Amino acid sequence: MQLDPASGWCQGVRVCRSPNFNARPSGEISLLVIHNISLPPAQFATGKVQEFFQNRLDVTEHPYFAGIADLRVSAHFLIERDGTVTQFVSCLERAWHAGVSSFEGRETCNDFSVGIELEGTDDLPFEDAQYQALTTLTRQLRSTFTAITAQRICGHSDIAPGRKTDPGPAFDWARYRAALAKAALEQEEQR
């Protein structure tokens, strides 16, 4: 995968455009937020996340869907259990993933963040393929948006504590951060 800085779209990933976005007020991109999602909850590879982000979810298909029928949300990316990456919104636009949120005292994190959804739940381990895709995608994002430092990568629970719990205790932050550090070291050695 390769992120095009001019368009904010990744080449080499699936594209599934969401209408749920708008312009960033300042154009700043300085935060990466990791989430998890599955629709219905704890069911994978259903295609329902894609439908949800496109406002096409048939709310009669599952009782859970009635409770989210009126929500208009999106993320920039979804990483499925098999590592497939789908992009919904250009990184240059504001996706609607964080909701009411605050990072280091600054509110409305959607204004300056990129949101990545991992297909999963708070309490089920994520797959190796997801960690690999997440590491690759993060490297692409950080090489383009250099304000996203290691300290500016967080979970939804970090920016919306008490309201959100994802990516949850099953997400292995140490593994992810070690993979990023290793990738950065390898990249530095190649220079």
SS3 category, 54? coil
Tell me the pLDDT tens digit for each residue of 118-161: 999 999 999 999 999 999 999 999 999 999 999 999 999 999 99
Task: Indicate whether 187 pLDDT > 80.
Answer: no
pLDDT above 90 as % of the chain: 93
pLDDT band at 27 (very low <50, low <70, confident <90, very high): confident
**C-alpha neighbours within 13 Å on the C-beta side of residue 81:** 14
Given this model, what pLDDT does residue 186 score?
Answer: 77
Average pLDDT, the chain: 95
Tell me the pLDDT tens digit for each residue of 156-175: 999 999 999 999 999 999 99
- Cβ(20)–Cβ(72) below 8 Å: yes
Given this model, what pLDDT does residue 191 score?
Answer: 66
User: Which residue type does 32 have?
Assistant: L
Q: Helix 173-190 crosses helix 128-144 at what angle (to 10 degrees)?
A: 50
Tell me the pLDDT tens digit for each residue of 36-52: 999 999 999 999 999 99
93 is catalytic: no
- Cβ(159)–Cβ(98) below 8 Å: yes
Backbone conformation region of residue 24, classed left if phi is above 0, alpha if psi is from -120 to 50, else beta? beta
Nearest to 182 by CA among 148, 120, 131: 131
N residues, the chain:
191
Task: Indicate whether 92 pLDDT > 90.
Answer: yes
Phi, psi of 91 (to 5 degrees): -60, -20
SS3 category, 133? helix
- Cβ(145)–Cβ(114) below 8 Å: yes
CA dihedral (103, 144, 189, 178) positive or negative: positive
Tokens for 26?
């300042």
Nearest to 80 by CA among 126, 115, 34, 114: 126
Given this model, what pLDDT does residue 141 score?
Answer: 97
- Cβ(119)–Cβ(38) below 8 Å: yes
Among the listed residues 28, 80, 117, 186, the single catalytic one is 117
Given this model, what pLDDT does residue 183 score?
Answer: 81
Task: Indicate whether 90 pLDDT > 90.
Answer: yes
